[in-house]
Structure 1
């Protein structure tokens, strides 16, 4: 197959912003590690795509404040117990002001951002959402905090939308919110209805288990809360990325790309983005060495250069909220920019990654449990670079994503062996020509269907061996010719009759 150059069809462009009532709503809990800082900067540049309802400082196995009384603590998690030892009074705590400091920089670029989309929340709106949660110790959930109260309030409100709870650190502040609901209502006649309401509303996207509160409290006591558990795929966006990301994708994480297209000359917010050799040092974290140019040539993670990507290990959590056309929010097994997850064999409310959620890596010819995330890195990084441009460029000077329209709709039926056409329209608000590409996402469905592209038509052949109710996921891509080149998608699911 080859890419076919298509001119913009001049179709009416659907407005970039969604009405508030259709937007996903979310609360972030964060332990403030340097990768959380970088994740939060990217998060701010995408904050027009969802409704933020809370920004909550929390703790984790890596970062906790201590109670200020000299009380000692030993990690429940074997990894951090081995690394840091026993009887600590605090651990690498970055404080509870770094979000406010980044929002001060966001305020400086906000006037430019709203020129690209009026849905960007104001700096004051975001400042008003900051709360301090449970931070004294790893896994601390004994105390009701301002952060846990906010989460509790949103879980109990009358908003029918789901509440997407992001655990960038531990799940302890989320656990405390749930525990307070249980304490307040368990002995009342309303408890059954309230528990059902909260269980249906909450979705937890957690990056590993960074404390034991999901295992010890949330899972046993709230078994019907949906959990998207990323313990493997996030590593490609974290510290050991050079050992995980395919060689073809690595240039988009290297300093030659990051420095020129994201960090430098893109306003004050992006200058706060932590990268290798940038001279920055996070207050409160003695382990942050990456900014020192003299210490990065050879590390256990590899050899790095100035402005190389360090880590955004928590970005997959909010990337799950982005509507780029892959329709993976409701069903994480479909795969998207946040990775791909398979329903647990033991828990019908838990989606997991790992070997059973691997995709075929074409560079190695092997199944790769990180490839469901790494396959999108080029598109995601170019998209990030475009958002960085929005901080300093006018709408006319910057690039914006194209639109992909499928005439037949996104759900199609076909017979085994059938050949049929999908008609595609591509639109670009900036007037750029758009390239069309399509492929079958074998692992997301029930196998491989042959796909060809010619002009504005995608031709699909269902295998003759396909069985009734099999599904085949056809990913239709439109990539514009602006800079940075941006890609959007539509997923057409073909069900066999």
Structure 2
């Protein structure tokens, strides 16, 4: 009996460790732009999907506090200097209380969120992770701050899991954390081991270069830290979305969808979500005009209506952590809700978007540098609407995502001329039927193969001319019939031998 109990203890312990290892951990750094606020609201509704270990106020080329002593500063970034000029004492600083205010609203909806998933962290736990980082000036990294100390601590801890560092603004607080490690250990016998450990642990997902600290410090001094660099695809989820998003996807960003399904009558957290014409004004940012209904008609970005989406330019960063079945966390070139990135030709530790990461947009028939992100907007927005419902509805009243399974597994070897059959099963906790769409993600692999879909299966014919080593990415997409309709996936990679 003792041996049997010991065996069960080992099984339970192993299962727990495996589950813990599988949970991704992350720290957010943010400059407080209004799109960061909206990203943060969506982020909070997905905190059951990963382990948040820090929420850090930082600065950027768009927002910095100043030192309070009248010291002037001129941006290193050409765009900011052109727009705002030189010798500024501060720039559009939104303060260091807005995360706490949103967490207070999150606390009110938390009792309802845990009806849907017990893994949501408490507001108190998240509040305990809020720190002020390097905020005085754009790119300031001279001072050790509470935010940089937290990042430093997590990079040096004994947790062997990767640490996913999100730069919603500049990378300066992250840079300060790394600089502190270098200052403390570079002259010691342990330096090479520590540098290797930190380089393997850290992943930086950055939305543009919003200061020069990656270029000036992180890249040259920590060249083996992995970087996912989104300088292009995020725009479809940012201010110019009407100029970028395909017409078929735009209704899910318009006020007729956003107002009733996300913003209104969904509790105090969603009511704070910034949208066009909503009457809200962010304190400290005189450039936030979008809430004034009289100023949103025929702007340079487009013609907007009340409750239209403004921007969540930083949401792709945290969406990379949400496992919807696309299996792209370790391999960003596969593509997913966070976009699709290819390995840099100059730096083997850097993934980036741009022309080499373009997908074919079926609406235009042309390669589109934003389509790796825009192709997912409808399911992402419906998923967001379901999470909004979780703030106010019981489990029985709300919708939850289906599960998709492939009998043959996610990795299949094949030979030229072979026909592969995939057998699909689905499960929906709400007992909704699940409709399947099975397709080949051409750009993620070596090209396209034809997929013939039947009710619960698909056949893929590998052409006789296929070269050895080719890979085909088959996306098995299942969408339930609840409302909002929710989609999950499985990716099958067929490798030709």
Interval containing the TM-score (normalised by the shorter chain)? over 0.9
CA distance in structure 1 between the aligned counterparts of 2:406 and 2:127, rounded to whole angstroms: 40
- Give 1:440 deviation, angstroms: 0.2
- 2:168 aligns to what? 168
- 2:260 aligns to what? 260
CA distance in structure 1 between the aligned counterparts of 2:458 and 2:403, rounded to whole angstroms: 16
- 1:6 aligns to what? none
Larger displacement relative to structure 2 (367-376 or 459-468): 459-468
**3-state SS, counterpart of residue 188 of structure 2:** coil
CA distance in structure 2 between the aligned counterparts of 1:450 and 1:465, rounded to whole angstroms: 14
CA distance in structure 2 between the aligned counterparts of 1:169 and 1:210, rounded to whole angstroms: 6
CA distance in structure 2 between the aligned counterparts of 1:417 and 1:231, rounded to whole angstroms: 40
Please report the RMSD computed on the Cα atoms of aligned residues, expressed in angstroms: 0.7
8 Å CA contact 1:55, 1:129 repeated in 2: yes
- 1:15 aligns to what? none
- Give 1:147 deviation, angstroms: 0.1
Work out whether 1:464 is the aligned partner of 2:464: yes
The answer to which structure, 1 or 2, has the higher relative contact order (CA under 8 A, 6+ apart) is 1
- Give 1:186 deviation, angstroms: 0.1
1:130-186 CA-to-partner distances (Å, cap 9, x unmatched) read 000000000000000000000000000000000000000000000000000000000
- 2:236 aligns to what? 236
1:454-479 CA-to-partner distances (Å, cap 9, x unmatched) read 01111111222211010000000110
Work out whether 1:432 is the aligned partner of 2:432: yes
Q: Which residues of 2 match residues 344-383 of structure 1 at below 5 A?
A: 344-383=344-383
What 5-or-longer segments of structure 1 have no aligned partner? Answer: 1-17
CA distance in structure 2 between the aligned counterparts of 1:300 and 1:288, rounded to whole angstroms: 15
1:52-107 CA-to-partner distances (Å, cap 9, x unmatched) read 00000000000000000000000000000000000000000000000000000000
CA distance in structure 2 between the aligned counterparts of 1:246 and 1:143, rounded to whole angstroms: 44
- 2:88 aligns to what? 88
8 Å CA contact 1:320, 1:337 repeated in 2: yes
- Give 1:298 deviation, angstroms: 1.0
8 Å CA contact 1:139, 1:212 repeated in 2: yes
**3-state SS, counterpart of residue 39 of structure 1:** helix
CA distance in structure 1 between the aligned counterparts of 2:23 and 2:298, rounded to whole angstroms: 44
CA distance in structure 1 between the aligned counterparts of 2:35 and 2:458, rounded to whole angstroms: 40
Larger displacement relative to structure 2 (400-409 or 19-28): 19-28
- 1:48 aligns to what? 48
The runs of at least 4 consecutive aligned structure 1 residues that moved more than 4 Å come to: none
TM-score (norm 2): 0.96
Work out whether 1:400 is the aligned partner of 2:403: no
TM-score (norm 1): 0.96
CA distance in structure 2 between the aligned counterparts of 1:321 and 1:312, rounded to whole angstroms: 16
- Give 1:48 deviation, angstroms: 0.2
- 1:384 aligns to what? 384
1:289-342 CA-to-partner distances (Å, cap 9, x unmatched) read 000000001100000000000000000000000100000000000000000000
CA distance in structure 2 between the aligned counterparts of 1:275 and 1:417, rounded to whole angstroms: 53
What 5-or-longer segments of structure 2 have no aligned partner? Answer: 1-17
CA distance in structure 2 between the aligned counterparts of 1:371 and 1:111, rounded to whole angstroms: 37
Q: Which residues of 2 match residues 67-466 of structure 1 at below 5 A?
A: 67-466=67-466
1:439-492 CA-to-partner distances (Å, cap 9, x unmatched) read 000000000011011011111112222110100000001100000000000000
Work out whether 1:488 is the aligned partner of 2:488: yes
1:189-223 CA-to-partner distances (Å, cap 9, x unmatched) read 00000000000000000000000000000000000
- Give 1:425 deviation, angstroms: 0.3
CA distance in structure 1 between the aligned counterparts of 2:461 and 2:279, rounded to whole angstroms: 54
- Give 1:21 deviation, angstroms: 3.7
CA distance in structure 1 between the aligned counterparts of 2:234 and 2:416, rounded to whole angstroms: 37
- Give 1:20 deviation, angstroms: 3.8
CA distance in structure 1 between the aligned counterparts of 2:345 and 2:233, rounded to whole angstroms: 19
**3-state SS, counterpart of residue 495 of structure 2:** strand
CA distance in structure 1 between the aligned counterparts of 2:257 and 2:36, rounded to whole angstroms: 21
Q: Kindly tell me the number of residue pairs found equivalent between the two proteins.
A: 480
8 Å CA contact 1:340, 1:353 repeated in 2: yes
8 Å CA contact 1:438, 1:453 repeated in 2: yes
**3-state SS, counterpart of residue 308 of structure 1:** coil
**3-state SS, counterpart of residue 59 of structure 2:** coil
CA distance in structure 1 between the aligned counterparts of 2:464 and 2:372, rounded to whole angstroms: 27
CA distance in structure 2 between the aligned counterparts of 1:418 and 1:183, rounded to whole angstroms: 58
**3-state SS, counterpart of residue 424 of structure 2:** strand
**3-state SS, counterpart of residue 459 of structure 2:** strand
